[in-house]
Structure 1
């Protein structure tokens, strides 16, 4: 085999994915290893940069020889509990994120896969020890956008269509389950209680506390109110309440329409495929990855999360009505195809009211994430690959890191302050 004997070598290969693992992956894939003979395989780190914050990522290439002696190359993507960063692995363990994501793909997603409904995520292949194997979306021509390029109209609409498919699958499952069980009502958490788990979004979680403190310190240091002690006092007096209110929007029971939400729809969890048309590339499909934060909550929260984390604020507000109409229309058409009337489930007026209410959740979630993802890849890798730095910044003193980075990088400061000051202007003053 081509794998080397070191966990990480100079050319990025890893060895702890074994031949037995590869055979298991082949057996669980659409390609049966009865069709050919496994010849070689190679496992490499998916990138020399950080693709995400809480896992290690590998690419697996498998060469098989088929019965006619033709060679075939198969590609897989592996997400694993980190072996390179102890603090990451510890956070994943404490929040039970690996088990939660594995359960989502191996159990929940099977329930949500509706025949005739276009896929909204990568195909789950197999589970290994502390790792999950997926189809390689890059091999299917899906790719990430540059995270510093905010979504334009075409990318936003495509992402909202995929979000509508994802949410529709949850609604269709519940409606079918209600009929099958002969019950007047049914929600998916009746069977899958762990979908109520808030993960790190808790008032008592060190990560959330540091996000809240860091944002407040940035306002005190850089905002237009930094020299106005009366206004700062008013902001600070309401700060904890506002952040707590955002979390309460996600808690059940709720009068809003609830579905399984992704809750982490920033750029690196959204992949697009492109239809090449002359010199332009328009996205013709979109899928989501990384469902470790998935939770049952109002669908409006996912929409506002996506729009706040990926759009320039002015562009978001100028086109918000079009974006909401696009999502609502797509959701309605999908449900209609399966004999469900959206008017009986979610009136347009109620949908828009829920959207406005969940602005706060979109803002607070973005405020939590943007300090970490609005960094160039080299800087992100150098800072967060170190276990002690990771732990210090995410759970002990995020404010010092943010202030230092904002002083050193004007673009970083401007993008963060746009989010923090919108919280102040909409909810504090």
Structure 2
């Protein structure tokens, strides 16, 4: 996977070392990600007659799963992340220092990325079956705000250089759009309809089944429309996929800190889409009702703080009232994304491996139907069923039974 020269380049990012040997090993944790293969690169080095090991995290296109590799390539996921890491993110920073919001990139080529192994620094991913705590959510919101701020900083600096308003869409529009292939969304929404018809507390409402069939797919299409650049608020590069597998957390005496990973589905649109999806992926309905105003104000404060660090007046970038109002519009995107992702992400690992990590069923589950599998797990895992149904029923109450 690596040449000797590439290994030397990676080792030099850690310090002045002499490379002795290296190896690539598979990470034992299953399904650490769905759209890549994840490995650990271990480099044995020597410095001042001391032998030590450097641990790095490797993300690459799956080497032995042809269907998944083809799916990734066809949808341009790696191409998108490669462009972000190799161009835009190089200029905006954020991968080191006290305001770090992403792991440091050590080496990159089109279908293979090497990062610092943040688990060596004490970071871990949240447990997928649980929602995030208050401290963890606020840490994640802070990281998201710092991430979004980099878009504005980049645009403001380039506008000054060009002596005209500049927006990232000019140079990166082909990478900031949803893939044209949407079969996985149709598959996910079919599961939403079938689960609601089976378990929803509203299933006995008059005309419930017909109303679902008439509205759910339209709501999904409306949510996709929100991924386009907004005409009402200042757009930013948004992550779009902030569930537990894409957040690393570390807690110590200084508090809780978060890092964001996996930028293969970034978009250029309202930053509120990241906040709404982050909350619907990772919190309960009661948590959102209790903390929403505090979270939105905290996000604005962190965003403002980051811009001021770059000597940018936040009031010249966006209007707070308009930004916070835009959250209401973004709820549809957040709840639809959660309806698609949470039934997969929060499933117990045994069932998840059986259903979603099987090359023989990859096409069936992603392109045809996953309803039977989700309903079957929900029938015997009541905590899983409750979490999924809370999102699905809120979707019904907000957008179907109105």
Give the corresponding residue for 1:302. Answer: 274
- Asked if the contact 1:225/1:232 (under 8 Å) is kept, the reply is no
Matched position secondary structure for 1:191: helix
Give the corresponding residue for 1:366. Answer: 338
Question: How far does the alpha carbon of each residue in 1:12-62 deviate from its partner, in whole angstroms, 9 at most, with x for none?
Answer: xxxxx34x2x540331454478x4432222321112411011211111111
- Which of 123, 146, 151 is the aligned partner of 2:127? 146
Question: How far does the alpha carbon of each residue in 1:157-203 deviate from its partner, in whole angstroms, 9 at most, with x for none?
Answer: 111111110000111100111010011x211010112232213xx6x
Confirm or deny that 1:82 pairs with 2:59.
no
Mapped partners of 2:352, 2:172: distance in 1: 35
- Asked if the contact 2:102/2:261 (under 8 Å) is kept, the reply is yes
Aligned residue runs from structure 1 range 56-75, under 5 A: 56-66=37-47, 68-75=48-55
Matched position secondary structure for 2:131: coil
- Asked if the contact 1:85/1:386 (under 8 Å) is kept, the reply is no
Q: Please tell me the root mean square deviation across aligned C-alpha atoms, in Å.
A: 2.0
- Which of 220, 236, 246 is the aligned partner of 2:223? 246
Matched position secondary structure for 2:268: strand
Mapped partners of 2:339, 2:154: distance in 1: 33
Give the corresponding residue for 2:303. Answer: 331
Following superposition, the deviation at residue 78 of structure 1 comes to 0.3
- Length-normalised TM-score, structure 1: 0.88
Aligned residue runs from structure 1 range 204-215, under 5 A: 205-215=182-192
Matched position secondary structure for 1:272: strand
Mapped partners of 2:197, 2:371: distance in 1: 11
- Which stretch shows the higher mean deviation, 224-233 or 208-217? 224-233
Mapped partners of 2:110, 2:242: distance in 1: 27
Give the corresponding residue for 1:43. Answer: 24
CA shift in 2, pair 1:273/1:24, >3 Å: same
Confirm or deny that 1:227 pairs with 2:204.
yes
Confirm or deny that 1:265 pairs with 2:245.
no
- Asked if the contact 2:8/2:19 (under 8 Å) is kept, the reply is no
Mapped partners of 1:48, 1:141: distance in 2: 16
Aligned residue runs from structure 1 range 91-102, under 5 A: 91-102=71-82
Mapped partners of 2:321, 2:340: distance in 1: 29
Give the corresponding residue for 1:55. Answer: 36
Give the corresponding residue for 1:26. Answer: 8
- Asked if the contact 1:25/1:126 (under 8 Å) is kept, the reply is no
- Which of 170, 190, 198 is the aligned partner of 2:151? 170
- Which of 92, 101, 110 is the aligned partner of 2:90? 110
Following superposition, the deviation at residue 424 of structure 1 comes to 0.7
Mapped partners of 1:126, 1:317: distance in 2: 42
Aligned length: 400
CA shift in 2, pair 1:169/1:30, >3 Å: farther
Following superposition, the deviation at residue 130 of structure 1 comes to 2.9
CA shift in 2, pair 1:32/1:327, >3 Å: closer
Matched position secondary structure for 1:246: helix
Give the corresponding residue for 1:5. Answer: none
Following superposition, the deviation at residue 391 of structure 1 comes to 1.6
Matched position secondary structure for 1:221: helix
- Asked if the contact 2:92/2:154 (under 8 Å) is kept, the reply is yes
Matched position secondary structure for 2:392: helix
